[in-house]
Amino acid sequence: MKFSSILAIILFSTLFANAQVSQAPQAPQLPAMQVVMEDAVNTLSWNSQYHGIKSIAIQRFSDSLNNFETIGIVEKPNIGLHSYTDKQPLSGINSYRLCIVFAGDLEWYSNMYKVITPNKAVSNSIEVPLLFKNKTSVSSPAPKPAEFIYTPSARIYTNATTKHIHINLEDALSKKYSIRFFDPSKNEILRISRVIKTKLILDKNNFNSKGTYSFQLFDGSILTETGYITVY
């Protein structure tokens, strides 16, 4: 009888521990992340599923989606869970994102999140969508947006078969080309700091969602071409 009681206690403790573990929140995979405010500090967490990442920079801005400043660096992050705690958040609105640098200096940005911290005591964490979304009501649907037509670039374009982004720069080895991509809200979402090959293919999954994106091609500090691509 005594042995049965001990066995029951062990079994109950094991089940309780398993229940506790199963309730623990799982950090989302990139490009998503989780932002939690507790005791006047903001903790960012995410799950990295990519090989070949050189570094991840944690960036913050107080009241905008542009001109982010780097507040922390994760050097040579491995696959798995990561977190960063902003112990001195700004009073008011704090916007966060991750700048992810892959091998070859390809820069990619996570989704952006806004945390409202009035008096550094109360906060609400919401995701800021990278693309505009039409707001609709039950009674009156949103008007259909006007069709956007553009002339594709001969050097940076969407391949009609694979739907990936092709970059053909025959003089890349003698130039200092860099490319920046922007969503319709003019938020920079992807950057190639230096193009070191004449032909590159960007997987369409580097972009957070389908739609039309603009790009800027630089030779050093000189803007040489602007245009658009479509991600299907």
Mark whether 123 and 186 lie in a shared domain: no
Say if residue 122 is in the same domain as residue 176.
no
Does 4 map to a domain? no
Kindly state whether residue 148 falls inside one of the protein's structural domains: no
| pLDDT number for residue 195 | 92
Which DSSP category does 153 fall into?
Answer: P
pLDDT of residue 134: 40
Task: State the pTM of this model.
Answer: 0.50
- Looking at 91, 113, 128, the residue that finishes a domain is 128
220: in domain: yes
Range of the domain at 82: 34-128
Per the domain annotation, does 105 fall within a domain? yes
Q: Where does residue 215 rank: exposed (0-12), middle (13-18), buried (19+ CB within 10 A)?
A: buried
User: Residue 141, Cα to own-chain centre: how many angstroms?
Assistant: 30
Do 162 and 122 belong to one domain? Answer: no
Q: How far is CA 115 from the centre of its chain?
A: 16
Same-domain status, 43 and 116: yes
Closest C-alpha among 104, 94, 87, 36 to residue 68? 94
What per-residue confidence (pLDDT) applies to 224?
94
Question: Has residue 3 been placed in a domain?
Answer: no
Predicted pLDDT at 216: 95
What CATH number does residue 54 fall under? Answer: 2.60.40.10
Query: Do 122 and 164 have their domain in common?
Result: no
pLDDT recorded at residue 113: 85
Among 128, 148, 173, residue at a domain's last position: 128
Which mean pLDDT values do the consecutive 10-residue runs of the chain (232 residues) have? 46 43 62 84 89 87 68 85 87 85 80 74 47 40 62 90 90 94 89 92 84 93 93 87
The count of structural domains within the chain is 2
Q: What is the CATH number of the domain that holds 183?
A: 2.60.40
